[in-house]
Copies of this chain bind each other. A is one copy, B any other.
């Protein structure tokens, strides 16, 4: 139980407060004054190796099943799982997680097809996407020797933020995205009060540093925020056989 502080005591405190000398008094400063003993951060176990899942993460794809996913037409997810990876089934439609998320840390690995059709260029090569909260697309593309618009290459927030550098690996090699996402906040009239923020690390290299998103990704026209609560992770079927593996997420 919290004891009440007597009125007398409050007066003493105010007295002490009111008559402080008009000068700095470094001798009255103590190291204990800047210690904070609570809240105590939860103890978690980090992954054994880099990229491994920490103990407080949720597995989204462990290489074996699509249990955590569903097709965006609400039928079972049809993308094939093989050798620890799931691969886009062209024409098989986007898939999304069954769970929804707010603020999170997401780890995901992806690979564009090793065999490159020389007729496929630009947005036609190794194209997929990771839609955060089903709205904000982190672009997936084979951007290794493959020119396209800068805000549409790997490491970009599609049609919004150009990556700081192009840290792409060759087609056929596994690449990693680590994503820190802060969800937008809305007022009661549905206007955005605080935008979404994304930090993106591509193969260990920072390509987006806490950038403010303009709104949900649009292919045509400017993005504009509309209110919502939480949302799933969606992977895009853009017609290319891009593979994914080792997907996990932590609520922030």
Chain A interface residue count, CB cutoff 8 Å, equals 114
Give the segment of A60-68, A78-86, A130-138, A180-188 that binds chain B: A180-188
Contacts of A252 in B (CB 8 A): 164, 187, 193, 206, 209
Contact B199 A34 (CB under 8 A): no
Task: Tell me if A205 counts as interface (CB < 8 A to partner B).
Answer: yes
Contacts of A214 in B (CB 8 A): 160, 214
Contact B199 A212 (CB under 8 A): no
Contact B209 A150 (CB under 8 A): no
The listed residue (B18, B149, B178, B195) touching A35 by CB distance below 8 A is B149
Contact B149 A37 (CB under 8 A): yes
Closest to A214 in B: B214
Contact B16 A3 (CB under 8 A): yes
Chain A residues 194 to 229 lying within 8 A of chain B, measured CB to CB, are 194-195, 197, 199, 201-207, 209-210, 212, 214, 218-222, 224
Contacts of A151 in B (CB 8 A): 34-36, 222
The listed residue (B2, B19, B103, B188) touching A3 by CB distance below 8 A is B19
Task: Tell me if A113 counts as interface (CB < 8 A to partner B).
Answer: no
The listed residue (B9, B33, B195, B222) touching A30 by CB distance below 8 A is B33
How far apart are the CA atoms of A18 and B31 in the complex, in Å?
Answer: 12
The listed residue (B41, B103, B224) touching A39 by CB distance below 8 A is B224
Contact A19 B224 (CB under 8 A): no
Closest to A47 in B: B204
Task: Tell me if A241 counts as interface (CB < 8 A to partner B).
Answer: no
How far apart are the CA atoms of A184 and B8 in the complex, in Å?
Answer: 35
Contact B1 A5 (CB under 8 A): no
Contact B205 A46 (CB under 8 A): yes
Min CB distance A236 to B, Å, is 11
Contacts of A120 in B (CB 8 A): 18
Min CB distance A157 to B, Å, is 11
18 contacts between A and B (CB under 8 A): A6-B9, A8-B9, A18-B120, A18-B123, A20-B122, A21-B40, A22-B121, A23-B122, A25-B32, A41-B150, A43-B168, A46-B204, A47-B203, A47-B204, A50-B51, A162-B224, A180-B206, A210-B210
